[in-house]
Structure 1
Amino acid sequence: MFWEDFKKFAIRGNVIDMAVGVVIGAAFGNIIKSLVDNLIMPPIGLLTGGIDFSQHYIVLKAPGAPGTYASAEEMVKAGAVLLQYGQVINNLVSFIIVALCVFLLIQLMGKLHRKQEEAVTTKDCPECAMSIPLKAVRCGHCTAALKAA
């Protein structure tokens, strides 16, 4: 009984649609991350004097071994505790861009849906006021002869 119920649940359209959405969402997230990291943040860094936000952090606890470290990742590997606010800035910009892209996609889909709804395919018969196809030359309800469109 359990397996039959689970099978019905797993092959329902909603679950499959959700799985497709998750996969596409993950790929979309990678594209947006690349867009932010490689196209948007570099010009922002130039405008702000060459700042690389991903390398901005506050050291809460210094690494155990003294020395110079090329990146925040090296410091963390050496035992440092960092407050990486630059990563938060990058993630915030990524979120705003993803939200904007989703908003624009939904707007576009809404416009396409409205255009399909607005496409007129029928007209009203002047005699009986019933809806008939645009190309009809005779009403199928009252058989009144119609003017050619």
Structure 2
Amino acid sequence: MKGDIVALATAVVIGAAFKTIVDSVVKDIITPIIGVITGGTDFTTKFIALNGETYATLEAAKEAEAAVMTYGNLIQAIINFVIVGLFIFLFLRAYEKTKQKEDPKPVAAPKGPTQEELLAEIRDELRKKNNA
């Protein structure tokens, strides 16, 4: 049980470190590429003011204390999720390829008496009982 706890704690620490790496890859490398592809659109600034008024920016709407639905954050979160999922998938796939695949050795059947030997034993036992 203690070994399992240590393994779990190690996995949590490594997972936290891996998260920072993945976040950096997403934020510093992939997101700018997506920004170029989408024409520099920053989805986090997309919003709908629920009071019916129009605001130039999200900050202006928040300063006016308007209730806003920031659907752009949801879009950005979905994009980040897909990117992180793809990155982890590719990482694990590469990891699996590096592992040595061992050929399972066929397990030999346990050695025992042959059928003929068993029949001979039965015959001998029957002879002993009939002679006794």
TM-score, scaled relative to structure 1: 0.51
**Greater fraction strand:** 1
The structure, 1 or 2, with the larger RCO (C-alpha pairs under 8 Å, 6+ apart) is 2
Number of residue pairs the alignment of both structures matches: 104
User: How far apart in 2 are the matches of 1:77 and 1:17?
Assistant: 48
Q: Which amino acid aligns with 2:65?
A: G
TM-score, scaled relative to structure 2: 0.56
**1:4 corresponds to:** none
Identity of aligned residues (%): 36
**Greater fraction helix:** 2
**2:20 corresponds to:** 30
The question of whether the paired residues in 2 share the 8 Å contact of 1:32 and 1:94 is answered with no
The answer to whether residue 90 in structure 2 is matched with residue 104 in structure 1 is: yes
**1:17 corresponds to:** 7
Matches for 1:1-149 after TM superposition, within 5 Å: 12-61=2-51, 72=58, 75-76=61-62, 79-113=65-99, 115-118=100-103
Runs of 4+ in 1 over 6 A off after TM superposition: none
Give unmatched runs, 5+ long, in structure 1: 1-8, 123-149
